Amino acid sequence: MPARFLDRHFDYIIAGAGSAGCVLANKLSANPRHSVLLVEAGPADSHPMIDTPKGFAKILASSRHMYYFDAGPGDTGKSSGETWIRGRTLGGSSSVNGMQYQRGHAEDYDHWARDLGLKEWAWSEMLRIFLAQEDHALGPAEWRGVGGPVHVTPSSNRSELMDRLLDAAGELGIPRREDPSYPEGQLVSYICANIHRGRRWSAARAFLDPARGRSNLTVVTDTEVVGLLFDGARVSGIECIQAGTRRQFRANAETILSAGTINSPKLLQLSGIGDREHLDSLGIPVRHHSPNVGRNLREHLIFTMQYRLTGDYSQNGEYSGWRLWKNALYYALTKKGLLSTSPYDITGFVRAHPDSTRPDCKFVSAPITMDLSKWEGFHKQIPMEKEPGCSIIGYVMQPQSQGTVRASSRDPRDAPKIVHNQLSHERDRKVSVALVKFMRRLFEQPAIRRYIDHETLPGSDVKSDDEILAAYAMMSGPGFHASGTCSMGTQEDSVLDERLRVRGVSGLRVVDLSVFPTLVSGNTHAPVMAVATRASELILEDSLA
């Protein structure tokens, strides 16, 4: 490369400062003999709305802090496209998400170990890590940790309507728990969130901030990784664009991609690691034929239902006019109140389909409804409805439908082509229909019935299975939990081995949500941090081999 390109060496280079990258930066730099570089494409996480839990809606509209991707339909299944968003700042999506803290279920990880041969990832290993990373406000339990860097706090936004909805779930035989991470069976609970003293507690707060003072850790922002550097078959570093100038950084030990489910496979493909036919079509020289790079894309598909209430049991009015200003002032002075809580208040893990042997769907609910007729995209916030309402959203937790992420050209500035392929698998269609029917049964229970006037979305006229699936095509969307595009496995055609090393080259690993061979049950921020912690153990073990 031209001599004007700056060159600097580190032991470990981490591309991406999201949930995984922040953990890795902390763990790998804990030894002062290791020099670590963390590179983030977006800016620092200094925007005041990042720290404000209910301020996330403002951040979602900021193109400086967000990626926006178009995801198109496949040949079967859901026929409409979607917009997928990802955080583009220190902390990644943990700085812009809904903050729910859920770990997935034991069977998710035991399935990886037992059925997929990924012995390093059994629940016994992962539970150890979850317990160590948590500082749970509910206190210690056999399945719950305290004293760790990740603060977890139950929702303080308790309301009569949500209490009655929890009671309604009890009438369906679903037990109420104080902690949604309770390890067994169906449950309903007030949400526990990554909020500490009224502030969002992102991966950057939990892991990066405590390490920032280390002289052996370098963090650079507004620097986009555009490719990998090679010495023969060994990855020796990264190439970046920083303030319009190309820069190179070299890794003495390892380069780690933590750019996420969309950008990590794209970077592999741009660097010649991917399906030969695809790379040939773009004119990219093939370094290693890895046909599954960008495949196995799985995403939670969210379906929203809304209800009009018989009285003012809603909080819609608190988010507009003088009440919003009152709540904002109260939050600014005390870090308490509505703006200090997560977007939704209660959650549940349920068996919606009779054939399921364990919880197959998740829902969340809050005493709010948005005026979706005003939806213009993420660049503009949706107003709340003026009339009192309640919303519930749910998704199938273990989707079988698989899509793809593929680089669309050799130019790293071009967005990849994403095919979501949602509802292409028969099982997903069956459980998705069962989920809608379950959410309706929930709102028909005696404990909640007197509060409900009627269903406004999708409407009671949507009844048959076919009508419900047609409604999915019109009004469902992504859960922002996309995974699997660089999945680990024991097969030769797996993108990664069980220690997250990229097959076909040396000196390169992937550590982010793209490595998950299947989706876990629930939100993904906590599992990604735990996987990154486990990955740091494997990296350090291998460095001694």
Question: What phi-psi label fits residue 504: left (phi over 0), alpha (psi between -120 and 50 degrees) or beta?
Answer: left
What distance in Å separates the CA atoms of residue 195 and residue 191, rounded to the nearest whole number?
A: 11
Amino acid identity, position 17? A
What distance in Å separates the CA atoms of residue 25 and residue 46, rounded to the nearest whole number?
A: 19
Strands 7-15 and 36-39: parallel
Strands 36-39 and 217-220: parallel
> What's the token pair of residue 89?
């700042």
Question: What is the 3-class SS of 522-543, one letter each residue?
Answer: CCCHHHHHHHHHHHHHHHHHHH
- The secondary structure of the chain in percent helix, strand, coil, rounded to multiples of 5, reads 30, 25, 45
Radius of gyration of the chain (CA): 23
> Among residues 208, 261, 265, which one has the least CA distance to residue 412?
265
What distance in Å separates the CA atoms of residue 459 and residue 470, rounded to the nearest whole number?
A: 13
- What are the angstrom distances between the C-alpha of 10 and each of 230, 236, 238, 247, 480? 15, 10, 11, 14, 32
Under DSSP, the state recorded for 287 is S
Q: Report the SS3 class of residue 387.
A: coil
DSSP element (H, E) containing 255: strand 245-257
Q: Report the SS3 class of residue 335.
A: coil
> Among residues 431, 295, 255, which one has the least CA distance to residue 353?
431
CB 288 within 8 A of CB 302: no
Amino acid identity, position 58? K
What is the phi/psi pair of residue 225, to 5°? Answer: -75, 125
Q: Clarify whether 425 is annotated catalytic.
A: no
Of 34, 65, 105, 481, which one is the catalytic site residue?
A: 481
DSSP element (H, E) containing 216: none
What distance in Å separates the CA atoms of residue 74 and residue 80, rounded to the nearest whole number?
A: 9
CB 159 within 8 A of CB 123: no
What distance in Å separates the CA atoms of residue 12 and residue 212, rounded to the nearest whole number?
A: 16
Within 458-515, strands assigned E span 477-478, 508-510
> Among residues 516, 508, 519, which one has the least CA distance to residue 228?
508
Largest CA distance in the chain: 75
Who contacts 300 (Cβ-Cβ below 8 Å, separation ≥6)?
Answer: 395, 396, 397, 399, 478, 479, 481, 519
CB 473 within 8 A of CB 480: no
**What residues are labeled active site?**
481
